[in-house]
């Protein structure tokens, strides 16, 4: 009975594919994960010379990916905040998915960071001898604390597994922990607020890099607030995107349309606020911050290929446009508009992180510097692919064995009539 080997672990009443089929789906991802582990292993054993980073391009693909996935993973804190603190009850339908995405994104980012630093075994020095003035200290503290919080939030989801909850201790602990989850949601919100912000601050404080440097409020540069806003804005968009993707892959309906609409509206509102703030910030930067450091802002965009198009793409194409779509009820009601808009919003934030990390380092600061380019080595790319594969594997496991979408059972009946014309990928999980 290989086919039904793990039946008793699967939530009652949901349809999951057979074990061999699930293993078949996992196989390429596990392969990719192993390749990623090998790549990362090379970097850890042989050193970072395995990468194409260098003294001038001290940060590369990894930091860009870390910043991006942490922004996309912001759905975890923001949904938790809306559900447990502001009591948006509908979001219960996606909170578990948000938590799993959060765990995946944050643990993946942490893993990539551990490979990225030259002496990972000394990472704990940051806790032991913290420089409280460094944005990176704030990031390290908040991200590691938040990862712990996320894992604790993930625990009830795991313990709620049909088989595991037959063990009384697990059942009882899950029950009691779930009652206190709002405390963790609060702590998570606090931590996320600060680390999303300080990730932005990371570059905003770089006085020596006028392209990234921003003025700010108190100790925080404006990017601190922009990062929080943008992360909160795309978190829900990313949830829409992943839920939609899982729906497409599995051929199931997983959340009610109301939930999609609510996420879209939240994302739209925050995104428009972000676009406004970003525009104001950019204008201040062009007209005041950058010139005061002796750098005319227009010069940054004279280095090809980073022309002004990148600014346009970031603010208008991937900011304003999706914001408007998400804010228009008629448009967002249709998947054909909603999904591209959510994807654009996610691209926008990725582009923003790209500009902050990669473009900042590419631009010369000394007059005899060159404009630099950098292509990641296969070891770097492999590590990133490994992180992606890790995310897919963890999410697949969670989706198969845990109750990620509580509304799935309810929605099962609505999808039934189309059963005959299920997509080819149906029943993948």
Partner 1 sequence: MFPWNYGFHFGAASVIFLGAFYTVLVVVATTILNALWRAHRDLSKGKVEDIRWHSDFHDLSAADRTCRHVLTGEIKSRECPHAFDCRECETHAKRIALHPPVRAAEAEAEIFGMSFPLDRMYHRGHTWARPEADGTVTVGLDDLGSRLLGTPDAVELPEPGSRVQVNGTAFRIHKREADVRVLSPVDGEVVETGSVDRGFFLRVKPFADPMDMRHLLRDAEVKPWMMRELERLQLALTMEGASLPSLADGGVPVADIASAYPKTDWDAVCGEMFLEP
Partner 2 sequence: MKNSRRDIFKFAGGAVAGALFTPAPWRLITDAALWSENWPGIPRPARGEIRARFTNCALCPAGCAVRARCVGEQPVSLAGVRGGLCPFGLTAHHLPYHPARLKQGPIEEASAAVAKRAADGIAVLDLNPGRTVSWTYRRAMALLKGRYLAPESQAVAYDLSAAKTVLSIGAPLLDGWGTPANVIAARRNFRLIQAEAVESRTAVLADEWIPLAPGTERAFAQQILGALQGGRPSVLASELAGNGPSLVIGDAPEIPEINRLLGAWGKIVVAPQEAPVPDSWTRSAAAITLLADVPDHSIHVLLIDESAAASYIPWHRIQPKLANENPLVVTFAATRGGYARHAKYALPIAVYPELTDDIAPAVDSIHPTFRISVPLVTPPAGLANPAEFVGALAGATASNALRERADEIHKAGLGTVLTYADAKETPVKELTPDAFWKALTEGGEWTQKGARRILSQAPGKSIDPAVRPETAIDLPLIAIREPGNPALVSPLMTKLYQESNLRLAPNRVALHPDDARAANLTNGARAILQTRAGKCSVEVTVDPAVPPGAVLVGSSPGIQDVCAPGVRAKVVSA
Partner 3 sequence: MIAESKKTPAARYGMSIDVDRCNGCGSCMVACAVENNIPPATAGATDRTGLTWIRVFRIDNGAEGAERRSAFVPVLCQHCGKDAPCVSVCPQQAVDVDPATGIVGQMPERCLGCRYCMAACPYHARYFNWWDPAWPAGMEKTLNPDVSPRMRGVVEKCNFCHGRWHAAKTKAVANGKTEIDPADYIPACVEACPSGAIHFGNLNDAATETAQGARLPNSFRMLESLGTDPKIYYQSKKNWVREISSAPRPAVGKEKARG
Is residue 144 within 8 Å of 107, Cβ to Cβ? Answer: no
Measured from the CB atom, the residue of 26 and 145 that comes closer to partner 1 is: 145
* Segment 418-426 long-range contacts (CB within 8 Å, at least 24 positions apart): 422/251, 423/248, 423/251, 425/248, 425/249, 425/250, 425/251, 426/250, 426/251, 426/252
Q: According to CB under 8 A, which residues from 111 to 130 bind partner 2?
A: 119, 121-122, 125, 128
Instruction: Mark the segment that binds partner 3 (CB under 8 A) among 123-131, 317-325, 377-385, 409-417.
Output: 123-131
Give the shortest CB-329-to-partner 2 separation in angstroms: 56
Work out what residue 335 binds among partner 1, partner 2, partner 3, none; the CB cut-off runs from 5 to 8 Å by kind: none
Is residue 200 within 8 Å of 227, Cβ to Cβ? Answer: yes
Tally of CB atoms within 10 A around 329: 11
Q: According to CB under 8 A, which residues from 163 to 202 bind partner 3?
A: 202
* List of residues contacting partner 1 (CB under 8 A): 7-8, 12-13, 15, 127-133, 137-138, 141, 145, 148-149, 152, 165, 168-169, 171-177, 179-180, 183-184, 187, 190-191, 219, 406, 409-410, 412-413, 416, 419
Give the shortest CB-402-to-partner 1 separation in angstroms: 13
Is residue 20 within 8 Å of 414, Cβ to Cβ? Answer: no
Distance between CA 122 and CA 314 in Å, rounded? 37
Measured from the CB atom, the residue of 218 and 368 that comes closer to partner 1 is: 218
Residue 155, both tokens? 């625990």
Tally of CB atoms within 10 A around 139: 24
- Asked whether position 129 contacts partner 3 by CB under 8 A, the answer is yes
Q: According to CB under 8 A, which residues from 257 to 316 bind partner 3?
A: 293-296, 299, 302-303
Measured from the CB atom, the residue of 172 and 333 that comes closer to partner 1 is: 172
Measured from the CB atom, the residue of 154 and 300 that comes closer to partner 1 is: 154
Give the shortest CB-409-to-partner 1 separation in angstroms: 7
Work out what residue 47 binds among partner 1, partner 3, partner 2, none; the CB cut-off runs from 5 to 8 Å by kind: partner 3
- Asked whether position 56 contacts partner 2 by CB under 8 A, the answer is no
Measured from the CB atom, the residue of 25 and 59 that comes closer to partner 3 is: 59
Work out what residue 176 binds among partner 2, partner 1, partner 3, none; the CB cut-off runs from 5 to 8 Å by kind: partner 1
Measured from the CB atom, the residue of 185 and 355 that comes closer to partner 3 is: 355
Binding-site ranges for partner 3 (CB under 8 A): 47-49, 53-59, 116-120, 122-123, 125-126, 128-131, 133-137, 140, 202, 205-210, 293-296, 299, 302-303, 360-361, 364-372
């Amino acid at each position: 009975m290989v086919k039904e080997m793990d039946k008793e672990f699967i939530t009652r009443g949901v349809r999951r594919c057979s074990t061999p089929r699930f293993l078949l789906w996992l196989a390429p991802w596990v392969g990719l994960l192993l390749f990623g582990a090998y790549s990362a292993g090379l970097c850890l054993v042989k050193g970072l010379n395995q990468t194409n980073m260098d003294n001038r391009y001290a940060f590369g693909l990894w930091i860009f990916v870390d910043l991006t996935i942490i922004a996309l993973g912001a759905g975890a804190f923001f949904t938790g905040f809306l559900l447990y603190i502001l009591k948006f009850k509908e979001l219960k339908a996606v909170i578990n998915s948000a938590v799993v995405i959060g765990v995946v994104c944050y643990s993946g980012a942490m893993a990539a960071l551990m490979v990225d630093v030259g002496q990972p075994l000394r990472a704990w020095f940051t806790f032991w001898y913290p420089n409280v003035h460094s944005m990176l200290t704030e990031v390290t503290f908040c991200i590691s604390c938040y990862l712990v919080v996320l894992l604790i939030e993930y625990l009830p989801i795991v313990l709620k597994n049909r088989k595991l909850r037959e063990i009384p201790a697990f059942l009882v602990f899950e029950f009691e922990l779930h009652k206190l989850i709002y405390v963790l949601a609060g702590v998570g919100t606090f931590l996320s607020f600060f680390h999303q912000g300080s990730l932005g601050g990371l570059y905003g404080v770089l006085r020596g890099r006028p392209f990234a440097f921003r003025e700010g409020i108190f100790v925080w540069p404006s990017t601190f607030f922009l990062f929080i806003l943008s992360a909160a804005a795309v978190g829900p968009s990313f949830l829409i995107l992943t839920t939609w993707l899982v729906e497409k892959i599995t051929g199931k309906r997983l959340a009610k349309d109301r939930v999609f609409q609510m996420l879209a509206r939240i994302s739209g509102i925050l995104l428009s606020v972000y676009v406004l703030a970003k525009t104001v910030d950019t204008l201040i930067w062009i007209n005041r911050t950058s010139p005061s450091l002796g750098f005319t802002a227009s010069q940054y965009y004279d280095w090809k290929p980073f022309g002004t198009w990148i600014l346009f793409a970031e603010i208008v194409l991937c900011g304003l446009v999706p914001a408007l779509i998400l804010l228009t009820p008629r448009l967002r009601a249709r998947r054909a508009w909603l999904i591209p808009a959510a994807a654009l919003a996610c691209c926008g934030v990725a582009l923003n992180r790209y500009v902050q990390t990669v473009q900042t380092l590419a631009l010369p600061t000394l007059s005899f510097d060159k404009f630099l380019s950098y292509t990641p080595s296969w070891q770097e790319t492999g590590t990133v692919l490994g992180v992606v594969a890790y995310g897919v594997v963890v999410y697949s496991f969670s989706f198969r064995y845990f109750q990620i979408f509580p509304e799935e059972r309810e929605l099962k009946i609505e999808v039934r009539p189309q059963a005959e014309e299920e997509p080819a990928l149906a029943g993948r999980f």
